[in-house]
Amino acid sequence: MRTQVGIIGAGPAGLFLAHLLHRAGISSVIIESRSREEVEGTVRAGVLEHWVAELIKDLGLGERMLREAHFHDGITLQWNRQRHHVDIAALTGGKHVTVYPQHEVLKDLIAGLLARGGEILFGARAAAIHGADTETPSVEFCRDATNTSEMLHCDYIAATDGFHGPGRQAIPAAKRVEYQKIYPFGWLGILTKAPLSWHELIYANQQDGFALLSTRSPDVQRMYIQCDPADDIAAWSDARIWDELHARLDTEGWALTEGPIFQKGIIPLRSFVCETMRHGRLFLAGDAAHIVPPTGAKGLNLAVADVRVLSRLLDAVHKTGDLSVLDRYSATCLRRIWKAERFSWYMTTMLHKNDEDSDFERRIHFAELDLIRTSESSARSLAENYVGLPFDNGHE
């Protein structure tokens, strides 16, 4: 098989890339190890930055999002049993928080790509990347259905294969510098069949730690609580989960609305960046190159930002034949990545209870929250980061 860009992974990074390349007249094939049903059924992120929602519309894929997503003017922060509304729309000249689940975005991207003649090989696992630093790279893959090895020959390879995929390891270890921070807490996430409890997301830091109230649809709600990342989910009965959610989210005269819990799981929290993101004709994008803790709602958005850069550079090469523009890929992406890493770390440290913190640090976190309540420039900084920083024109 032959194509211009071989893409490993049909997550947000791989699928947005295929659409952007298609729009530029560049062919691609996506190799995805999971089935379409599994990709479309995995519950992950919920919040889109303003420009990502605009991009979905620009790509002609926004019809369902416009009908089904929730568009919020802001977010609510809660501490000391008090709530504070951060008016993101007012602070950013009218930008909104779009709550539209990642798997719904993926359904729209997959259907749209297939309708446009795009090629996605589901149930096909990339096993090895060959000749990344040559002019003739290829991806060796194996389809579940046949269990035989095949080759995808291409001009460029995009490894959009997530944190555990083989892409990053194909960059020689001596060329890679990896930065990592593991947090001493995780998130227990649930889906519950219940009506909306509050009109926007609530990020709470109460005595027992962090909780987040989010939504999926008018009758399905998404909620998270801080827990020990080593906890066994079996130790968390529904009753225990509701007790903790009430303890962290309820305020005087207001209580969360309960419903049956139909999905629950625990994820660890980490920050990770791999520098460089390129080796010859191999490019890493999305979680393959970086991870953020979910408190800033940045992971999916950052994956799309990477492939926005990559598609523009590949389009420039396609038009001019000048390969030297590709030298800008890593540095251009990393400028935005480190700002998202900073914001995600800041939201995480400010909003969680860390048993390793001293009382002094705990007081500092509450002072940071109070600064957002009382200082417009602090609130604006949070708002700008939350809805997505502007692009660094000329550099991205």
**Vertex 331: Cα angle to 330 and 333 (nearest 5):** 65
Candidates 95, 298, 352, 365; catalytic one? 298
Q: Rounded to the nearest whole angstrom, what is the least distance from the CB of residue 331 to ligand PHB in the complex?
A: 27
Crossing angle of the two packed helices 329-351 and 299-320, in degrees rounded to 10: 170
Q: φ and ψ at 316, to 5 degrees?
A: -65, -40
Count other C-beta atoms under 10 Å from residue 313's C-beta.
18
Binding partner selected for residue 109 from ligand RFL, ligand PHB, none, CB under the kind-specific 5 to 8 Å limit:
none
Candidates 294, 329, 352, 365; catalytic one? 294
Q: Is 300 in the site for ligand PHB (CB under 6 A)?
A: no
Count other C-beta atoms under 10 Å from residue 55's C-beta.
18
Scanning the structure block, which residue is given the tokens 């691609």?
A: 28
Q: Rounded to the nearest whole angstrom, what is the least distance from the CB of residue 192 to ligand PHB in the complex?
A: 13
- Residue 72 annotated to the active site: yes
Site for ligand PHB in 192-211 (CB under 6 A): 201
List, in sequence order, every residue forming a beta bridge with 263; answer none if it has no partner. 191
Question: How many whole angstroms from its chain centre is CA 215?
Answer: 16
Distance CA 387, CA 396 (A): 18
- Answer for which of 33, 205, 295, 385 binds ligand PHB (CB under 6 A) is 295
Q: Residue 163 to residues 20, 127, 178, 274, 292: CA-CA distances in angstroms?
A: 22, 15, 13, 11, 11
Closest to ligand RFL by CB, 264 vs 373, is 264
Q: Is 352 in the site for ligand PHB (CB under 6 A)?
A: no
8 Å CB contact between 255 and 246: yes
- Residue 100 annotated to the active site: no
Closest CA to 76 of 228, 216, 215: 215
Residues of this chain that interact with ligand RFL (CB under 6 A) are 8-14, 31-34, 39, 44-47, 102, 125-126, 160-162, 165-166, 189, 267, 286-287, 294, 297-301, 303
Q: What 3-state class would DSSP assign to 226?
A: strand
Q: Is 20 in the site for ligand PHB (CB under 6 A)?
A: no
- Residue 294 annotated to the active site: yes
Distance CA 197, CA 83 (A): 14
Q: Rounded to the nearest whole angstrom, what is the least distance from the CB of residue 337 to ligand RFL in the complex?
A: 12
Total chain residues near ligand PHB (CB under 6 A): 9
Binding partner selected for residue 295 from ligand PHB, ligand RFL, none, CB under the kind-specific 5 to 8 Å limit:
ligand PHB
Q: Is 308 in the site for ligand PHB (CB under 6 A)?
A: no
- Residue 386 annotated to the active site: yes
Q: Is 72 in the site for ligand PHB (CB under 6 A)?
A: no
Closest to ligand PHB by CB, 91 vs 170, is 91
Candidates 22, 50, 72, 96; catalytic one? 72
8 Å CB contact between 118 and 18: yes
- Residue 179 annotated to the active site: no
Stretch that binds ligand PHB, among 143-151, 162-170, 292-300, 350-358 (CB under 6 A): 292-300
Closest to ligand RFL by CB, 12 vs 209, is 12
Alpha helices, DSSP H only, in 321-358?
329-351
Active site residues: 72, 203, 294, 298, 386
